[in-house]
Amino acid sequence: SQTIHQWPATLVQPVGSPLSLECTVEGTSNPNLYWYRQAAGRGLQLLFYSVGIGQISSEVPQNLSASRPQDRQFILSSKKLLLSDSGFYLCAWRGSSYEQYFGPGTRLTVT
């Protein structure tokens, strides 16, 4: 069966510091992968999606970037964090009927 991992689970970073969040999927090959952000008390915002290695589409202009160096690995990065980057970051992969399966999430607090 498929499993999706995210790490770290929680992260506290100062403003201006870099960021790297990692997501890996097991049990499926060449999945469509997604990064979402969920701000406190708000819905999910799609940040990036990828249909294959090296293929990244950005939904929202911001100081975040994404990369897909391997088939089942998706990385979210920033060179300099802003306070507004705080939130709950979720990675997901797409199933056979457009449904998406989410990872456990990373809680990022920028101080």
Partner 1 sequence: AQSVTQLDSHVSVSEGTPVLLRCNYSSSYSPSLFWYVQHPNKGLQLLLKYTSAATLVKGINGFEAEFKKSETSFHLTKPSAHMSDAAEYFCVVSYYNTDKLIFGTGTRLQVFP
Which residue ranges make up the site for partner 1 (CB under 8 A)?
Answer: 6, 32, 34, 43-44, 46, 49, 88, 90, 92, 94, 97-105, 107
56's tokens: 């990244």
Indicate left, alpha or beta for 61 from its phi (over 0: left) and psi (-120 to 50: alpha).
beta
The residue among 13 and 79 lying less far from partner 1, judged by its C-beta, is 13
The single residue listed with the structure tokens 């088939």 is 71
The residue among 18 and 59 lying less far from partner 1, judged by its C-beta, is 59
Least CB distance to partner 1 at residue 83 (A):
20
